[in-house]
Chain A
Amino acid sequence: KAGVTQTPRYLIKTRGQQVTLSCSPISGHRSVSWYQQTPGQGLQFLFEYFSETQRNKGNFPGRFSGRQFSNSRSEMNVSTLELGDSALYLCASLRQGGTEAFFGQGTRLTVV
């Protein structure tokens, strides 16, 4: 059974640019959550999507957005990048019921 696939694995962007990250969940899972991981703040919840609808949202500015497609694949977008957005962005695929979370390898974003 394939795991959670995140692309790309690494990204380097310049301040002010925007970026789109992709996540393909485990087959059969309909819920996807996104997290930001930094050394100073740890793992912080960004948002969760279920059946193409945002169900939960964390305390991040509006520059962070996401969406989910009918095949459960999800994307997150960060606009007007700031240096502080440098982090490991993790996607979690959630088992039916939405509690057990299985993570991908993450996308490491560096903003310069």
Chain B
Amino acid sequence: QKEVEQDPGPLSVPEGAIVSLNCTYSNSAFQYFMWYRQYSRKGPELLMYTYSSGNKEDGRFTAQVDKSSKYISLFIRDSQPSDSATYLCAMGGNTNAGKSTFGDGTTLTVKP
């Protein structure tokens, strides 16, 4: 079983929709959580970084972490065609600070 499981998708939504992307994890040592966006043939771009349970908002993006359920989510409000990309969740622990474990990614298409 993988340490990080990500809803596989693909996901297709109309422009303006609210998008929910989700990951679950099994390793209790994970302390920090990240969401990346990756366009085709590009490197992953860090969108959100959180270190605690609860919500963190940045513009149209909200990251949610529930450590008790080992569940994280990324919400995108008012989705745009430019949001079409693969979204990756990642997480890690303080004992291996430089190593992050990634989900397999969810490909999102936002249709105009």
Bound complex: CA A45 to CA B90 (Å): 11
Cβ B43 vs Cβ A105 within 8 A = yes
Show the binding face of B for A, using Cβ within 8 Å.
32, 34, 36, 41-46, 49, 51, 88, 90, 92, 94, 96-105
The size of the chain A interface, using a CB distance under 8 A, is: 27
Q: Are B99 and A100 in contact (CB under 8 A)?
A: no
Contacts A42-B105, A101-B90 supplied; 17 other A-B pairs, CB < 8 Å: A31-B98, A33-B98, A42-B104, A43-B102, A45-B99, A48-B99, A55-B97, A56-B98, A56-B99, A58-B99, A97-B97, A98-B98, A99-B92, A100-B46, A101-B34, A103-B43, A103-B45
A92 to B45, CA, bound (A): 10
Contact A42 B103 (CB under 8 A): yes
Cα A33 to Cα B90 with chains together (Å):
14
Total A-B Cβ pairs within 8 A: 62
Q: A42-B105, A100-B34 are in contact. Are A55 and B46 (CB under 8 A)?
A: no
Q: Once the chains bind, are B96 and A105 in contact (CB under 8 Å)?
A: no
Residues of A within 8 A of B34 (CB): 100-101
- Closest-CB distance, A103 to chain B (whole angstroms): 4
User: A15 to chain B: closest CB distance in Å?
Assistant: 24
- Could you show 12 A-B contacts with beta carbons less than 8 Å apart? A33-B99, A33-B100, A42-B105, A45-B99, A48-B99, A50-B98, A55-B98, A56-B99, A94-B97, A99-B92, A102-B46, A108-B41
Interfacial residues, chain A to chain B (CB-CB below 8 A): 4, 6, 31, 33, 35, 42-43, 45, 48, 50, 55-56, 58, 90, 92, 94, 97-106, 108
Residue pair B44, A90 in contact (C-beta under 8 Å): yes
Min CB–CB distance B80 → chain A (angstroms): 22
The closest CB in chain B to the CB of A100 belongs to: B49
Supposing A42-B105, A43-B88 touch, asked if A101 and B100 sit within 8 A by C-beta, the answer is: yes
Task: Assess whether A45 is in contact with B44, with CB atoms less than 8 Å apart.
Answer: no
